[in-house]
Amino acid sequence: MSATALLPASRQRPEVPADEAGVAAAIRAASAAGEPLLVGGNGSKAGLMRPVQAARGLSTRALSGISLYSPNELIVSAGAGTPLADVAAAVAAKGQHIISEPPDFSALLESDLAQTIGGVVATNLSGPRRVTWGATRDHVMGVRAVNGIGETIHSGGRVLKNVTGLDLCKLLTGSHGTLAVLTEITLKVLPAPERRGTLVLSGLDPVQGVAALAAALGSPYAVSGAAYLPSLLAARIPSLAWFKGPVALARIEDFGLSVAYRCDRLRADLAAFGHAELLDDGASRATWEGVRDATPLVGEDSAIWRVSVRPSAGPAVAAAVSAAFDARWFLDWGGGLVWIAGPASEAAHHAVEAAARAAGGTWMLFRAPEGLRAAVDVIPPEIPALARITRAVKASFDPKGILNPGRLYRGL
Amino acid sequence: MIPQPEPKADILARRDSIVVALRKLVPASGVIAEPLRLKPYETDGLSAYRQTPLAVVLPETTEQVAAVLALCHREGVRVVPRGAGTSLSGGALPMADAVVVGLMRMNQILDIDYADRCAVVQAGVTNIGITQAVQQHGFFYAPDPSSQLACMIGGNVNMNSGGAHCLRYGVTANNLLGLRIVTIEGEIIDIGGAHLDAAGYDWLGLLTGSEGMLAVVTEVTVRILRGPEGARAMLAAFRSNEIAGACVDSIISSGIIPVALEFMDRPAIHACEAFAHAGYPLDAEAMLIIEVEGSVAEQDGLLDRIKEICRAYDPISLKVSTSAEESAAIWKGRKGAFGAVGRISPDYLCMDGTIPTSRLAEVLGRIGEMSAACGLQVANIFHAGDGNLHPLIMFDANDPTSFHAAEKFGADILRLCVEVGGCLTGEHGVGVEKRDLMGVQFSEIELEQQRRVKSAFDPDWLLNPSKVFPLRDAAPLAAE
C-alpha cells in the first residue's frame, strides 16, 4: 500500500459515478487493486461510527432523482444520492410523508451537507415516530446495491408485502455501507396527518415522566411521539421554554377532529400525573423537530451517545451516567432512547456502556473525536458465536473487505 | 412428488444410532421414530407433498434444542424446524434423512410487560395465544394470519407472516423486538431484546422470513399494542373489478388508510356467502371489506367519507355494520374463505403473489383468461391496500392431470405477478412450492448472494436445505 493509501479518503476527492454501472466499475477497480473504499453519499454522517482508513473514496451523490412515485400505491423509489429533502418534498406535495420521520443531524454533527436517502437508509436513523410506527428499516421495501465484488443485486421490490427470499433489504439497511453500496431505494410512504397535537405534563421527575409516557403509549389513542426533557434541555426548545421545568410530551397525529378528541381523552386519562397543557399544530411541529434532531444537545461541546433500552429503564440509565460524569440527557421513544452528552473520554464512554449493559440495552457513540471513536467500542461487541457469523456474512458480500473497513467493528 | 435432494445414505444407515443419541438429549416422549407416529409430521399446510422424516424431536427447552442441533451438526444430519405445520408453501416438509425439530412443546409465555409494551414467548406459543394472554388489559399482538388459531409464533417469525391488518400494523418483522436463536453448531444467541434498534447488522430483520434456513428460533420478544377504542367494517359492492380497484385507489389517495381493505371477486363472494351467510351481495362482480378504527364518532366520520368516495363508483350496495355482531359476520365470510372454497371444490391451491395495486384489474383479467384456458376455476381474495393477491385454484387431487394443471396455473399466476412488478410471495413464503420459480424474480448472481448468506450461518447446508432455492443449484452445496 502506498503512503497516500493511509490517508483517510475523506480528505481526498472521492469518485462520483454517474450511474449504477459506474458504481460497479469503481468497486471492481478497487477490488482488483485490493484498496479499501470509503463509501458515502454527501458525507453528512461521515463522522458516525468508527473512522475508516481507505485509499479511495466513492460517493453515490450523483445517483440522484426520484425514479418512481406512486402515491396510490404508497411507494417512492429514488437514487441513493437523492437529497432526503427532495424526497420529502415530493411526497409532501401529494399529502404524504416518510413514515420513520428521519432526523436531520447536520447541526448536531456540524455538517452543512444535505443528507441523502441512501445515507438515511445506510444508517437506519429514525425520529420520534419510530416508537409507534417503526424504524426506517421497517419501511424499506426494496433496494438495489452493488456488493464488494462489483455485482449488482436487488432485494425486495416496489410492493408493500414481499417475503420472497432472504430479506437483504433489512440486512443492508443500517449496515453503514460495509456490505454493499446502495444505489436505489424504495420506501413505503403514508398519508401525512392532517393535524398534530402535543400534551405537555410539566414538573414530573424522570421516573414519573416515563410512567406518564407509558400510560400515553399504552392508551388507545395512537400516540406517535413520547419524550421527556429535563428543564435545562427543555428550555433550549423555544416552544417548550415557557414551561420552566422538566416536561413529558405525548404527540397525537391524525385528522383534525381525531386529534382534538384524542388529546381531550388522553388528558383525562393522564390526570393523575397533573394537568396537561396542549400544544397546537404549529408548536407541535416545532417541538418535535427539536426532539427529532436532538437540537437541545447541539450547543454541547462534548461527546454524544444514543443508548437504547426498554423504555422504563431510561431514567435509570440517565441517573447512572449522571452519577459518573456531568451529563446532559433527554429521553425519546417513551424513555427507551437516551440521548447523552458528556466528556469525550474513555472513562465517560465506559460509564455509558456500563449503564446500557445494566439495563439490557445497546449503545452508539454518536459524536466524538476520531481518537475516541477509534479507541472504544462505538457499538456493543458481539458474542463470539455471533461475531463469527458477522465475519462470514461480511465476507459473503465483500470478501476482500474493501467497503468501509472498520466502520462498525475493529478489523471488520 | 416434489423432488428432494438425494438422502444421505450413511445417515439413513445410521438411523438407529442417531435416534438413540437423540433420546439421551430430550425426555423419552420427545423422540418419535415409530413409522405410525411419524405420520402426522409427513406434511404441512401444503398437503399435496409428503415425506416421512428420519425422526422427530420435540425439545422442551432452548438448551435441549442446542444439544439436538449440536448432535445433528456433528453427525451431518439435516434438520427441518417445525412449528404447528400450517405452512402453505411446504416450509416444514420433511426430508427422508432429516430430523424434524418440532417446537410445539415450547409453548410458554415467559413475560408480559405492559409498561414497556412487549412480551417474551416461546416459539411454540400460538399467534392467537399471545393476544389472548394480553387482551384482558386491552392489548393485542398485531399480525393476524388466517391460521392464527393454530400457527405458532416461531413459524410466523420464520415465514414473516402477515394477515388482514398489515396495511396499518405491518407484518411480523415490524412487530418483533428480539429473538433467542440456536445456530446449527448448537450455540445460543440472543438478538435484540426489549429495546428498539439493536446495534450492528439487523439480524432480527434477516432472520425474520428466513424459512428455517439460518437458525432455529426458540424464544421471541414481540411488541404488544394497545387496541383501539373500537373497530367497524363496511361492505361495498361494485359492477366490475376495474371499478372496485379504482375505488381502492381513491380511498388511499384521499389520505385514509383503513386498518383493513379486503377485495373479493365474484367466485370468492359466492363461495364465502354460501358458507358464512354474511349477507354478501351475490349480484356483484367485486366486493370490498373496509374496516376503520377509533371511537364511535371517529368510525362514523371515516366511514362517511369512505361511503362518499364509494358512491362516485356507482356501487351496487354499500352496507355499514351497525354492531359488533354485524362486523363479525362480515369478517366471518372473509376469514372462512379457505373453508368456503373447500366446500365447493374437493381441493384447492392457495397462491400468494403481490402486485402493484394499480395493476389489479389487468391481473384479474389475465387470471380469468388463464382459468378459462386451463379449465380450472379460481376465486380471488386480495389484501387490496398492500397488493397481496390470494388466488384459490380449485382442482381434484384424485386426478393427477387436474393437480398438475393447477400447479402450472399457479406458477403462471406468480410469473404474471413478477412480470407486472410484483413478487412471488407476499406472506406465505417460498418453501418448496415456489422454490423453482425463484429465478423468475432473481438473477443467478442475486441467488448466489443469498446462498452465501445462508452458508455464513450454516456452512454445511443442514438447516432446511431443500427450501427457497432452486434445487438443481442447492444440491451440489448440500451434498458437500
- pLDDT above 80 (res A282): yes
Residues A258-277 pLDDT 10s: 999 999 999 999 999 999 99
- The CATH class given to the B345-419 domain equals alpha beta
CATH number of B9-105+454-479: 3.30.43.10
- The CATH class given to the B109-226 domain equals alpha beta
**Each residue's pLDDT expressed in tens, for chain B with a length of 480 residues:** 788 899 999 999 999 999 999 999 999 999 999 999 999 999 999 988 999 999 999 999 999 999 999 999 999 999 999 999 999 999 999 999 999 999 999 999 999 999 999 999 999 999 999 999 999 999 999 999 989 999 999 999 999 999 889 989 999 999 999 999 999 999 999 999 999 998 999 999 999 999 999 999 999 999 999 999 999 999 999 999 999 999 999 999 899 999 999 999 999 999 999 988 888 999 999 999 999 999 999 999 999 999 999 999 999 999 999 988 888 888 888 888 888 888 888 899 999 999 999 999 899 999 999 999 999 999 999 999 899 999 999 999 899 999 999 999 999 999 999 999 999 999 999 999 999 999 999 999 999 999 999 999 999 999 999 999 998 644 444 433
Inspect the interface and report whether the beta carbons of B209 and A166 lie closer than 8 Å: yes
What architecture (CATH level 2) is domain A300-375?
2-Layer Sandwich (3.30)
- The CATH class given to the A1-192+381-412 domain equals alpha beta
Inspect the interface and report whether the beta carbons of B450 and A168 lie closer than 8 Å: yes
Inspect the interface and report whether the beta carbons of B298 and A217 lie closer than 8 Å: no
Fold: same for B109-226 and B345-419 = no
Residues B377-404 pLDDT 10s: 999 999 998 999 999 999 998 999 999 9
Q: Which chain A residues have a beta carbon less than 8 Å from that of B139?
A: 218
Fold: same for A195-292 and A300-375 = yes
Note which residues in 134-163 of chain B have CB less than 8 A from chain A: 138-139, 159-160, 162
Inspect the interface and report whether the beta carbons of B196 and A162 lie closer than 8 Å: no
Percent of chain A residues topping a pLDDT of 70: 97
Residues A170-216 pLDDT 10s: 999 999 999 999 999 999 999 999 999 999 999 999 999 999 999 99
Inspect the interface and report whether the beta carbons of A72 and B357 lie closer than 8 Å: yes
Give the domain ranges of chain B: 9-105+454-479, 109-226, 231-337, 345-419
Question: What is the distance in angstroms between the Cα of B210 and the nearest Cα belonging to chain A?
Answer: 6
The complex's ipTM works out to 0.97
CA triple B225-A105-A323, angle to 5 deg: 75
Backbone dihedral angles phi then psi of residue B210, each to the nearest 5 degrees: -90, 5
The pLDDT assigned to B474 comes to 45
Question: Which grid cell sits at A232?
Answer: 435545562
- pLDDT above 50 (res A410): yes
The pLDDT assigned to A93 comes to 98
| Interface with chain A: mutation pick from B156, B453, B457, highest number of A CBs within 10 Å | B453
The pLDDT assigned to A12 comes to 63
Residues B194-227 pLDDT 10s: 999 989 999 999 999 999 999 999 999 999 999 9
Question: What is the distance in angstroms between the Cα of A165 and the nearest Cα belonging to chain B?
Answer: 7
> For the residues A126-130, what does the mean pLDDT come to?
98
- pLDDT above 60 (res A378): yes
Question: What is the distance in angstroms between the Cα of B231 and the nearest Cα belonging to chain A?
Answer: 12
Q: How does the average pLDDT of chain A come out, rounded?
A: 96
Inspect the interface and report whether the beta carbons of A170 and B173 lie closer than 8 Å: yes
Give the domain ranges of chain A: 1-192+381-412, 195-292, 300-375
The pLDDT assigned to B55 comes to 98
Count chain A–chain B contacts defined by CB atoms under 8 A.
Answer: 255
The pLDDT assigned to A3 comes to 38
Inspect the interface and report whether the beta carbons of B446 and A153 lie closer than 8 Å: yes
Strand partners of residue B265: B286
Identify residue A327 by its one-letter amino acid code: A
B172 with B210: CB under 8 angstroms?
A: no
B169 → chain A, closest CA residue: A133
What architecture (CATH level 2) is domain B231-337?
2-Layer Sandwich (3.30)
Inspect the interface and report whether the beta carbons of A257 and B298 lie closer than 8 Å: yes
CATH number of A195-292: 3.30.70.2190
Task: Provide the pLDDT confidence category of residue A58 given band limits of 50, 70 and 90.
Answer: very high
Q: How far apart are CA A94 and CA B253, in angstroms?
A: 8
Residues A315-332 pLDDT 10s: 999 999 999 999 999 999
